[in-house]
């Protein structure tokens, strides 16, 4: 348990939060090979992860990634440009389609907001791909904990059965031990706070997050539970009981106060399926992001990621939902969760975030030609 107190970085005054750590070339080679093997599972239903990775190898990779997580702060500090990814829920094929759209690590820097397992069929595949990327490129991918990375949840919603079926129940326990070591929040360029669920009445300073001892298991209430479970609401300004029966719901006023108190421009969180893959809360200080389409085949939602450029300008990339299988007849659109109750205001809030503009030679050319023709270049919203 001596590791519990070693991760408190609250006194860290390093100029850059991102340290360059040399990786053992043998480990790099092993990870490259593991990533290559995992990539063969994309668009291929003939082979299973059990055919390309043994239980022993999985446990060895968990040990490596555990060390990295424990070296990071509970509040992972990283710098923009970065793309923020929401719930994946074991949809490994869709995660790879998303990578085809947004780019892959290490070319892109990504931060994942949790809920890798449950509901879908390939949670182990999702975790192992992300963990191998983390071991290989620790400063290009950040992995946060979701409420499904908790034994009481993933015992029930699919991951336990998946482990049992693919490797035997023993490995499920190894994953739980690892989940207790995953950081719980992220801070991008000191101005954008990320977590899976949301705010907490206990969150009066960012140091309070940094001071949560790890390893830790979320119990029934408190800061850790709220970071993983709370939800925004457009029903009012304060704190409300949650319909989940755990944690709280919080209104626009709470978000505005938190941004002031914690010196933040924006909060990005996941945890709820939203129809377009992203939704902006009334007040424009909080975005929900959800990153797989047709969630559970119960919804007709798109997937999205939120992009922050070096000036912290916000844009989005979206993956439209593919047609549902003909056997699925009752999928529906998701309800709005925290957008303005006035439809026009909600639309204006939403349209304040623009589609991501790819950087590169072609983007430069587009810019030049639009300048020539006197068109005004569309800019993504700049947060003060």
Residues that bind Mn ion (CB under 5 A): 115, 146-147, 271
**Cα–chain-centroid distance for residue 153?**
18
Cα–Cα dist 192/266, whole Å? 5
148 is catalytic: yes
Give whichever of 252 and 271 is closer to Mn ion, judged by the CB atom.
271
Comparing every residue's Cβ against Mn ion, the nearest one is 271
Catalytic choice (56, 89, 148, 196): 148
Give whichever of 247 and 380 is closer to Mn ion, judged by the CB atom.
247
| H or E element at residue 194 | strand 192-195
Give whichever of 167 and 295 is closer to Mn ion, judged by the CB atom.
295
Show the tokens assigned to 262.
């914690």
Give whichever of 271 and 350 is closer to Mn ion, judged by the CB atom.
271
Q: Min. distance of Cβ 243 from Mn ion in angstroms?
A: 14
Q: What dihedral angle (degrees, nearest 10) is formed by the CA atoms of 168, 172, 178, 182?
A: 130
Cβ distance 67 to 175 under 8 Å? no
Task: Give, in degrees to the nearest 5, the angle at Cα 195 between 189 and 200.
Answer: 110
Show the tokens assigned to 172.
């499920």
**Cα–chain-centroid distance for residue 92?**
14
Closest to 136 measured CA to CA, from 11, 34, 219: 34
- If one counts every other C-beta atom within 10 angstroms of the C-beta of residue 134, the result is 23
Give whichever of 146 and 186 is closer to Mn ion, judged by the CB atom.
146
Q: Min. distance of Cβ 87 from Mn ion in angstroms?
A: 6
Q: Min. distance of Cβ 196 from Mn ion in angstroms?
A: 6
DSSP reduced 3-state for 303: strand
Closest to 87 measured CA to CA, from 287, 300, 290, 307: 290
8-state DSSP, 76? E
Q: Min. distance of Cβ 150 from Mn ion in angstroms?
A: 10
State how beta strands 286-289 and 266-269 pair.
Answer: parallel
Cβ distance 196 to 211 under 8 Å? no
Q: Which residue has the tokens 């902006």?
A: 280
Q: Min. distance of Cβ 375 from Mn ion in angstroms?
A: 42
Cβ distance 18 to 78 under 8 Å? yes
Give whichever of 92 and 116 is closer to Mn ion, judged by the CB atom.
116
Give whichever of 115 and 340 is closer to Mn ion, judged by the CB atom.
115
Q: Min. distance of Cβ 198 from Mn ion in angstroms?
A: 10
| H or E element at residue 253 | helix 252-261
Helix (H) and strand (E) counts in the chain: 13, 15
Q: Min. distance of Cβ 147 from Mn ion in angstroms?
A: 4
Closest to 333 measured CA to CA, from 301, 303, 292, 304: 301
Residues with active-site annotation? 148
């Amino acid at each position: 348990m001596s590791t519990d107190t070693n991760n408190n970085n609250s006194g860290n005054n390093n100029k850059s939060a991102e340290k360059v750590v040399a990786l053992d070339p043998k480990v790099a080679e092993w990870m490259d090979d593991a990533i290559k093997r995992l990539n063969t599972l994309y668009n291929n239903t003939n082979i299973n992860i059990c055919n390309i990775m043994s239980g022993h190898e999985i446990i060895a990779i968990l040990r490596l990634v555990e060390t990295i997580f424990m070296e990071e702060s509970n509040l992972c500090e990283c710098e923009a440009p970065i793309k923020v990814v929401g719930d994946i829920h074991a949809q490994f094929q869709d995660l790879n389609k998303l990578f085809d759209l947004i780019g892959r690590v290490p070319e892109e820097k990504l931060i994942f907001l949790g809920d890798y397992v449950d509901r879908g069929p390939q949670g182990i595949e999702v975790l192992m791909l992300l963990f191998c990327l983390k071991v290989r490129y620790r400063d290009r991918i950040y992995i946060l904990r979701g409420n499904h990375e908790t034994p009481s949840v993933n015992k029930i919603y699919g991951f336990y059965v998946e482990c049992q079926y693919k490797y035997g129940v023993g490995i499920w326990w190894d994953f739980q031990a690892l989940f207790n070591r995953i950081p719980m929040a992220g801070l991008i360029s000191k101005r954008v706070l990320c977590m899976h669920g949301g705010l907490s009445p206990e969150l009066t300073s960012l140091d309070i997050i940094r001071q949560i001892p790890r390893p830790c298991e979320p119990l029934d209430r408190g800061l850790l539970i709220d970071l993983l479970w709370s939800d925004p609401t457009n029903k009012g300004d304060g704190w409300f009981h949650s319909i989940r029966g755990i944690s709280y719901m919080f209104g626009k006023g709470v978000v505005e106060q938190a941004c002031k108190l914690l010196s933040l421009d924006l909060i990005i969180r996941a945890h709820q399926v939203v129809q377009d893959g992203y939704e902006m809360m009334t007040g424009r200080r909080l975005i929900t992001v959800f990153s797989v389409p047709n969630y559970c085949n119960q919804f007709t939602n798109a997937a999205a990621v939120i992009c922050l450029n070096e000036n912290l300008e916000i844009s989005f990339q979206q993956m439209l939902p593919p047609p549902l299988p003909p056997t699925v007849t009752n999928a529906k659109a998701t309800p709005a969760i925290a957008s303005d109750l006035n439809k026009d205001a909600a639309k204006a809030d939403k349209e304040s975030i623009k589609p991501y503009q790819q950087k590169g030679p072609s983007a430069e050319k587009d810019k030049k030609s639009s300048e020539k023709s006197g068109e005004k270049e569309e800019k993504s919203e700049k947060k003060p």
